[in-house]
Structure formats: C-alpha cells, structure tokens
Amino acid sequence: MGSFFKAMLISRTLSNYRSYCCDLAFSCIQDILKVFHCGT
C-alpha cells in the first residue's frame, strides 16, 4: 500500500508539474528542458 501511494503521488506530481509548466510557460523560460517537456 505504501509503494502504491508513493507511485500515485509521483505520477500526480509529474502531471501537475507538466500542467503548471504548460499553463505558465513564461515561468519555465529559464529552463529550456521544461519548455521542451511542454511540447513546444
């Protein structure tokens, strides 16, 4: 159960990070890799 929760948390965090990056692209401009993760 612990590892399942951890996996859910990690996947949710990655998903949230990606949406945050794509919604607020200007905040990612300092890190080109972040922009690439947004698919731009």
Are 37 and 18 in contact by the 8 Å Cβ rule? The answer is yes
Please, what's the b/e burial string for 2-39 (b: 16 or more CB within 10 A of its CB; e: otherwise)? eeeeeeeeeeeeeeeeeeebeeeeeebeeeeebeeeee
Alpha-carbon span 1 to 12, nearest angstrom: 16
1-40: per-residue pLDDT in tens? 688 888 888 788 777 776 665 666 655 566 666 656 655 5
pTM comes to 0.37
**Tell me, what's the pLDDT at 20?**
67
Q: Which range marks the domain in which residue 12 is found?
A: 2-37
**Tell me, what's the pLDDT at 38?**
59
